[in-house]
Amino acid sequence: MHELSITQSLVDAVLERTGERTVTGVNLRIGPLSGVLPDAMRFCFDIVSAGTSLAGAQLKIDEPQGLARCRSCGTEFELADLILLCPCGSADVEVLSGRELMVMSVEVA
């Protein structure tokens, strides 16, 4: 489960920026094509943040839909997973969104 190491890196990065201030919330954006499971991040966050100034902070995760454009027919369509195939049958698609894995904001007391 690589989400544990990603969550540890997230907590370390937030602690570097916030120091000893109490963190009340962390807002993330995780796309369905990022390879990261939001539920696993939520589970790991409570474990990794225990004993730090992030303990008890609320982890809020925005989960945008994946979006792609077919280079063959020009259609834009949603992507729920890494099967990059246009409804027209073409595999020549450009991923427009869904790979996000970013910290949007941190809330401190």
Q: Which residue positions form the known binding site for Ni(2+)?
A: 2
Which structure tokens are listed for 42? 């939520």
User: If you ran DSSP here, which 8-state letter would residue 65 be given?
Assistant: P
By CB atoms closer than 10 A (0-12, 13-18, 19+), residue 28 is buried
Residue owning tokens 């902070």: 57
Binding-site residue set for Zn(2+): 70, 73, 86, 88
Helices within the chain (DSSP H only)? 3-18, 38-49
Residue 29's beta-bridge partner residues?
62, 102
State the binding site.
2, 70, 73, 86, 88
